[in-house]
Amino acid sequence: MATAVGHLIITMVLVELVCNYLLKLKLSRRMILAGGIAGLLPDLDIPLAWGLSWLTGERVYLHGGILHTLLPVLLSALVALALWNKRVPRSVRIIAAIIPAALLLHLALDCAYGGYATLLFPLHTGNVCPQWDTSKYLLETDAIMLVAWLIIEDIRRKGK
Q: How far is the CB of 4 from Zn ion (least distance, A)?
A: 9
Instruction: Specify the residue, 33 or 112, whose C-beta has the smaller distance to Zn ion.
Output: 112
Instruction: Specify the residue, 15 or 27, whose C-beta has the smaller distance to Zn ion.
Output: 15
Contact between 16 and Zn ion by CB under 5 A: the answer reads no
Contact between 43 and Zn ion by CB under 5 A: the answer reads yes
Whole-angstrom distance, CA of residue 111 vs CA of residue 104: 10
Q: Nearest 10 degrees: CA dihedral of 153, 154, 158, 160? A: 10
Binders of Zn ion among residues 93 to 122 (CB under 5 A) are 110
Whole-angstrom distance, CA of residue 148 vs CA of residue 10: 9
Q: How far is the CB of 1 from Zn ion (least distance, A)?
A: 5
Part in contact with Zn ion (CB under 5 A); list of ranges 15-23, 24-32, 38-46, 148-156: 38-46
Binders of Zn ion among residues 57 to 86 (CB under 5 A) are none
Cα distance from N-terminal residue to C-terminal residue, the chain: 37
Whole-angstrom distance, CA of residue 33 vs CA of residue 56: 34
Whole-angstrom distance, CA of residue 106 vs CA of residue 45: 13
Q: Residue numbers of the site for Zn ion (CB under 5 A)?
A: 1, 42-43, 110
